[in-house]
Amino acid sequence: MTTKDRLPWRTGAEKSGSRGVLSRKQISDLSATFGIGGGALLELSRKLSMALSEDLNLSQPELVQPKIARGAREARKAIDALEKAEKQIERARDHLAQLRFRNEWAHCGVPNPGDQHMAGFLEGSRAIAEFRHFLQVMAREQLVTFTDVPDKRRVKDLRRDIVTTTIFNFWDERGRTLTITTDPDSGERSGELVRFVNAVVACLTDPPCRLHGETIFLDLKAFKAHAARD
C-alpha cells in the first residue's frame, strides 16, 4: 500500500528488547536485498525504536492556536443552536402552564407524576440556560479547544520524520549516496534509497505500507537542508 498520509505505525514495537523494532527475519531479508551487514541493521533497528515509542511526544505547538480558534467558533454555533432551542422550550412552557395532569393513583397516596415531570422539565430548562452561559464564557475567553485538526494539511507525521531521518543518517554512514532518481516522463521518484526506505517502513507499519516517492524526496531535501545549516 502506498500512502502520502500518516502511516499506521506499529507503536509499542520498541518493547521488543535489545533487538530493536526489526525482527531477525526482517534484518536478514534487508541484509540480503541491500547488501548491508546484519550487525549494522541491528543497530538501525535499535535506533528506530524511538520512532515507535508510545511515549513519544507528538504535539505540534503550531496547531494549538488554530484549535482554540476553531473551538471558539464551534462553541458559538452550539450557543446559537441552544438559543433557538430555548425559544422553543419557552413556547412549550407557556402551553404547559395552562395544563393540569390527572393523577389516577392519588387515592393510594402516589405523588402526581405530572408534577415530577414538570419539575424535571423546568430543571432541564435551567440547566440548558446555565450551560449556554458557560459556553459563552468559554468562547469569549478562548478556553475551549477543537479536538480534531482544523486543517489536516498542516498535520505532520512526526514518527515518519524520525524514521526517514534515522534511515538517511544510517545510509550516509554506510557510505551510500543520498540521491533519488526522477523518471523524466512520469516524474516518479525512485532509486536504491527509495527502495530501502520503503522496505524498512513496511517493517514498521501494520498493515505494511510504502511512502510515496515524492514524500521521501521532500524528506531527504529537508534532511540535507538541515545538515547544511549544522
Domain ranges of the chain: 2-60+156-229, 61-140
Q: pLDDT by residue (tens digit) across 52-101? A: 887 665 555 655 677 788 889 999 999 999 999 999 999 999 999 999 99
Q: pLDDT by residue (tens digit) across 114-151? A: 899 999 999 999 999 999 999 999 999 989 888 765 55
Residues 223-230 have a mean pLDDT of: 82
d(CA 201, CA 37): 18
d(CA 150, CA 7): 19
Which has more pLDDT, 140 or 14?
A: 140
HEC sequence for the chain: CEECCCCCECCCHHHHCCCCCCCHHHHHHHHHHHCCCHHHHHHHHHHHHHHHCCCCCCCCHHHHHHHHHHHHHHHHHHHHHHHHHHHHHHHHHHHHCCCCCCCCCHHHCCCCHHHHHHHHHHHHHHHHHHHHHHHHHHHHCCCCCCCCCCCHHHCCCHHHHHHHHHHHHHHHHCCCCCCCEECCCCCCEECHHHHHHHHHHHHHECCCCEECHHHHHHHHHHHHHHHHHC
- pLDDT for 89 equals 96
Task: Evaluate if residue 17 carries a pLDDT over 70.
Answer: no
Calculate what percentage of the chain has a pLDDT beyond 90: 60
Residues 37-45 have a mean pLDDT of: 96
Task: Evaluate if residue 2 carries a pLDDT over 50.
Answer: no
The three three-digit cell numbers of residue 143, written as one number: 478556553
Axis-axis angle for helices 64-96, 113-140 (nearest 10): 150
Backbone angles phi, psi at 165, to 5 degrees: -65, -40
- pLDDT for 157 equals 76
- pLDDT for 4 equals 47
Task: Evaluate if residue 223 carries a pLDDT over 90.
Answer: yes
Task: Evaluate if residue 3 carries a pLDDT over 50.
Answer: no
- pLDDT for 167 equals 97
Question: Looking up cell 514495537, which residue turns up?
Answer: 13
Q: Give Cβ neighbours of residue 31 (< 8 Å, ≥ 6 apart).
A: 37, 38, 41
Q: What is the pTM of this model?
A: 0.60
Q: Give Cβ neighbours of residue 141 (< 8 Å, ≥ 6 apart).
A: none
Q: Give Cβ neighbours of residue 45 (< 8 Å, ≥ 6 apart).
A: 19, 20, 21, 22, 27
